[in-house]
Structure 1
Amino acid sequence: MAGPDQVAQHSSEVLGQRKSLGQCPIKMAITGFACAGVIGFLVLYSKKKPEASALDVAKVTAGVAHSDNTHPPK
Structure 2
Amino acid sequence: FGIAVFLVGALLVEALNIQREVALAPGQSLTIGRDSFHLDGVAHHEGPNYTSDRGTVRLLRDDRLVATLHPEKRAYASGG
TM range (shorter): under 0.3
- Judging by fraction of residues, say which structure has more helix: 1
- Judging by fraction of residues, say which structure has more strand: 2
The structure number with the bigger radius of gyration is 1
